[in-house]
């Protein structure tokens, strides 16, 4: 099959969605599918990137875009939507004129709308994956728009049963919804070396260690974890690995903090 993967975020950005998509694309190519990834340049980091990247079975096209606004607009979904929409919406039809695809697989609400819209125009099957529990408002144009978008696609894949319930409650046709589970590459994520040597290297003299790895945003529960850590005894230590808008605030906490860049 010729598969178009449409996402606002992809490597060399680092994150859960990016890791999942990288594994997904790798597996699709391994199974002899031809994959085209349309995405933006890294929007949250200064990682080196190429507009066009090709290898056997895989083409990645990154749209140059203004970076540095993604985290700032997280609490304004509509403004964030408008920030992320134009590039994908304008470029995708040109890609569809040049290449033929059997399916468009979009990730997230912005890419989901773009894939659904142009999929209808070009008569291509569309799949939208959610990578978050969105907590949509009960009233207003936003939930109505999202409901219409999901109901207009051919298949919706949610990351959990909770996410599925959220969409069903919103009014999305339950027959369209499937639940998928993120997998873990056990060859990549495994315990290596002596744990005590690692603790010594990080200067962690404690009996119990808690590790948080992820974007430093409120939605990940990091602030709740910090409040809980204030009540822990001295034998428990918290290590935080990540970057994000709350990084400066976390740096000022009297906790053992290290940036992801140090690992």
CA atoms of 120 and 122, how far apart (whole Å): 6
Give the DSSP H or E segment for 59: strand 58-63
Task: For residues 162 and 257, state if they share a domain.
Answer: no
Please report whether residue 185 resides in a domain: no
Highest mean pLDDT among 77-86, 183-192, 248-257: 77-86
In this prediction, residue 193 carries a pLDDT of 67
Residue-range definition of the domain harbouring residue 87: 2-179
CA distances (Å), 223 to each of 53, 250, 253, in order?
38, 9, 11
Read off φ and ψ for residue 95, nearest 5 degrees.
Answer: -65, -40
CB 42 within 8 A of CB 60: no
Give the DSSP H or E segment for 241: strand 236-241
Higher-confidence position of 193 and 60: 60
CA atoms of 177 and 9, how far apart (whole Å): 23
Q: What is the pTM of this model?
A: 0.86
- Tell me the mean pLDDT in the region 82-95: 97
Highest mean pLDDT among 162-171, 178-187, 230-239: 162-171
CA atoms of 13 and 51, how far apart (whole Å): 14
Name which of 4-8, 72-76, 192-196, 241-245 the model is least confident about.
192-196
Of the three residues 132, 155, 179, the one that is the final residue of a domain is 179
Whichever domain contains 9, its CATH number is 3.40.50.2000
What total number of domains does the chain contain?
Answer: 2
Q: Does residue 165 carry a pLDDT above 90?
A: yes
The string of pLDDT tens digits covering residues 197-237 is 766 766 677 778 888 988 888 878 899 998 888 888 778 88
The string of pLDDT tens digits covering residues 28-48 is 999 999 999 999 999 988 899
CA distances (Å), 78 to each of 47, 82, 140, in order?
27, 6, 12
Task: For residues 104 and 138, state if they share a domain.
Answer: yes
Q: Does residue 15 carry a pLDDT above 70?
A: yes
Q: Which two tokens stand for residue 136?
A: 């949509």
The single-letter DSSP state of residue 257 is B
Task: For residues 25 and 155, state if they share a domain.
Answer: yes
Q: Does residue 129 carry a pLDDT above 80?
A: yes
Sign of CA dihedral 98, 105, 154, 219: negative
Alpha helices in 68-160 (DSSP H): 77-98, 109-122, 141-151
């Amino acid at each position: 099959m010729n598969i178009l993967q449409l996402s606002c975020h992809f490597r060399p950005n680092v994150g859960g969605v990016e890791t999942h998509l990288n594994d997904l694309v790798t597996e699709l190519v391994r199974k002899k599918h031809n994959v085209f990834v349309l995405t933006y340049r890294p929007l949250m980091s200064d990682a080196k990137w190429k507009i066009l990247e090709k290898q056997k079975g895989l083409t990645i096209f990154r749209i140059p875009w203004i970076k540095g606004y993604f985290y700032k607009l997280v609490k304004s979904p509509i403004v964030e939507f408008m920030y992320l929409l134009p590039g994908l919406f304008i470029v995708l039809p040109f890609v569809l004129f040049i290449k033929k695809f059997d399916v468009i697989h979009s990730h997230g609400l912005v890419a989901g709308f773009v894939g659904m819209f142009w999929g209808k125009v070009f008569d291509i099957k569309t799949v939208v994956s959610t990578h978050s529990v969105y907590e949509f408002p009960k009233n207003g144009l936003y939930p109505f728009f999202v409901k219409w978008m999901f109901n207009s696609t051919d298949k919706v894949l949610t990351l959990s049963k909770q996410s599925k319930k959220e969409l069903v409650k919103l009014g999305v046709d339950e027959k369209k919804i499937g639940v998928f589970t993120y997998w873990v590459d056990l060859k990549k994520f495994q315990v290596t070396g002596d744990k005590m040597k690692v603790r010594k290297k990080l200067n962690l003299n404690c009996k119990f260690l808690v590790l948080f790895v992820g974007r430093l945003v409120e939605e990940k529960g990091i602030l709740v974890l910090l409040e809980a850590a204030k009540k822990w005894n001295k034998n428990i230590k918290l290590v935080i690995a990540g970057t994000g808008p709350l990084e400066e605030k976390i740096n000022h906490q009297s906790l053992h903090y290290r940036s992801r860049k140090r690992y």
